[in-house]
A and B are shown apart, each in its own frame.
Chain A
Amino acid sequence: MTTIQADNFDWIPLTGAKPSGKRPYFFDDPAVERVLAITMAVAQEVAVIRERLDTVERLLEKNGSITRADIDTYAPDPASATERAEWQRMYIARVLRIVQQEIEAMSKPENNVDIEAQAEDLKRN
């Protein structure tokens, strides 16, 4: 097994290395998949920034001042963890809203009347 030395080790590009095996693409146009993967990575980072801000707020509220080490060792109590999880839950529901709406359209076709058809119908009735 070939290994490299620690002092030549640029780990950042290795974090995103492609696993062996051809990647499946699910959309008719692979460009859609590419944009989705980028969007989800950005969505994750927004969640990370928000959680960090929440940590800063809670530490400031409690201690008045903070260090970066305080942020890295912060562990929420159950009540704080629940509030943070609820924010995450709402956040993901917000990001994936169109998926929810498509599921509702599919599940309840009776609530999915074509608007053009309705417009024509209202002109007549």
Chain B
Amino acid sequence: MSGWPSPPPYNLVGKHGVSPTFKHDDIARFNFLAQLNTHLAATVVPANATAYEKRVKPAFVAEHGREPTDRHEVRRAMLKDAHFQIWSALRRSSMELRQQNGREVVLRQLAALNQKAAALNRNSPQLKLDPTFVPPAYVSKVDFHCMPGGYVGELLPDDVGAAANYDIGIFATTAGGLGCYNDGAGLAVYEWLKKRCAGEMPKRILDMGCGPGHTITALAKHLPNTEFVTVDVAAPMLRFAHARAKSLGVNNITFIQANAENVPEPDASFDVVYTTIMLHETSNLAIRKIMAETYRLLKPGGLSFHLEQPQYAGLPPFEAFMRDWDSLYNNEPFWTGMHDLDIDQLMADAGYDRANMFQDRAVGVLDEAIFGKQKDTGEDFGRKAAWHLFGVTK
């Protein structure tokens, strides 16, 4: 074991060339939040099941003569329950505290941070911004996970603030579970690809929706002989992700401002096209266009995959309801609709053959710097970064 407590102290967060400077109290605020979120997850969240079984379901049955049949009925009933109310209010409050804490650190030094990024980005052929680009309504109408300004908002010239704030908060909200450099998903994809590709790694990979660049940078670092391209709709994310990757010595990624629905790259030009935890931040029409783009962009025999949480079909209504909380209450409005879609059908509509579709798990590796050496028991201790993977070959 590493000897660090859970949650680990925020001092352990990884620093890079566009990290803001932290003061003592900034770190203490994130330590408080990590501990609060850990407490809520361990003791307050599980009691929702108790409230449902002991109070909410019996009351529903008494009124309707049957149990709730879907998550929407569960939700409408749970909204009247005192425990669900206090948990939800605390969780929402924790999200809002997290945003203010992160923005305090970033905004008070925003001009300096923007300059640091600009110095790393200057004249780089690997950062292609489009000043005429208009972000789609599905990213500009509601600010995802309560980030004021969302991914695309800019306050000062050459702004990287939204990405810097996103970057610094993850270590606190996940209690270090994605690693010092938030590279848990990137490492999960790397480990999964290694097994899948059995030695012959892809030459050219497209990542759709890189955000602050945690996932693609970790993956590209482990595949130095692969050429990476990524598209994102948000200039602040691309500026930050490019500068961050450069400062970490990762140089094999080209960052392009474009919509994943319409990628400025030729047909059949990639061996792999993937998204990580991105499809749920699009829309019903967009996700279909994105699937079609993956098909157009892949070489014959190429591989496409998407990391998300599992779909709701077949889940007990209460579990689907709990998994759906963020959609309505943490500003993820397509989360709920996306998790009802038949992903295989979307892939089939995009041109893929059903025989080439598969589903899998991608599991991150806990950061040894925080958690020490872990025995691989294959078991989820509730801290593991793990995702459902929808895959297909062309």
A residues contacting B by CB (< 8 A) are 1, 3-6, 9, 11, 14-21, 23-24, 26-28, 32-33, 36-37, 40-41, 44, 47-48, 51-52, 55, 71-72, 74-76, 78-79, 81-82, 84-86, 88-89, 91-93, 96, 99-100, 102-103, 106-107, 109
Within the complex, which residue of A4, A26, A81 is in contact with B85, where a contact is CB–CB below 8 Å? A26
Within the complex, which residue of A33, A48, A109 is in contact with B28, where a contact is CB–CB below 8 Å? A48
The total of interchain contacts (Cβ-Cβ below 8 angstroms) comes to 173
Q: Is the CB of A33 within 8 A of B83?
A: no
Give the nearest-CB partner of B115 in chain A.
A6
Q: Is the CB of A106 within 8 A of B150?
A: no
B residues contacting A by CB (< 8 A) are 2-9, 11, 22-25, 28-29, 31-33, 35-36, 39, 43-44, 47, 50-51, 54-55, 79, 82-86, 88-90, 92-94, 96-97, 99-100, 103-104, 107-108, 110-111, 140-143, 146-150, 152, 154-157, 159, 235, 328-329, 331, 333
Q: Is the CB of A85 within 8 A of B9?
A: yes
Q: Is the CB of B143 within 8 A of A11?
A: no
By secondary structure, the A interface counts as helix
Q: How far is the CA of A52 from the CA of B55 in the complex (A)?
A: 43
Knowing A3-B157, A26-B89, say if A17 contacts B148 (CB, 8 Å): yes
**Chain B residues near A78 (CB-CB < 8 A):** 2-5
Q: Is the CB of B329 within 8 A of A24?
A: yes
Q: How far is the CA of A94 from the CA of B152 in the complex (A)?
A: 40
Within the complex, which residue of B25, B93, B94, B111 is in contact with A9, where a contact is CB–CB below 8 Å? B111
**Chain B residues near A107 (CB-CB < 8 A):** 47, 50, 54
Within the complex, which residue of B4, B5, B6, B32 is in contact with A44, where a contact is CB–CB below 8 Å? B32
Q: Is the CB of B108 within 8 A of A27?
A: no
How far does the Cβ of B311 sit from chain A's closest Cβ, in whole Å? Answer: 24
**Chain B residues near A33 (CB-CB < 8 A):** 89
Give the nearest-CB partner of A37 in chain B.
B93
Residue among A21, A37, A41, A109 with the highest chain B CB neighbour number at 10 A: A21
**Chain A residues near B29 (CB-CB < 8 A):** 44, 48
Within the complex, which residue of A3, A9, A23, A86 is in contact with B5, where a contact is CB–CB below 8 Å? A86
Q: List 24 A-B contacts (CB under 8 A).
A: A9-B111, A9-B155, A15-B104, A16-B100, A19-B143, A21-B333, A24-B92, A24-B328, A26-B85, A26-B88, A26-B89, A44-B29, A44-B32, A47-B28, A51-B24, A51-B32, A52-B28, A55-B24, A76-B11, A78-B2, A81-B8, A86-B5, A88-B35, A102-B83
How far does the Cβ of B23 sit from chain A's closest Cβ, in whole Å? Answer: 5
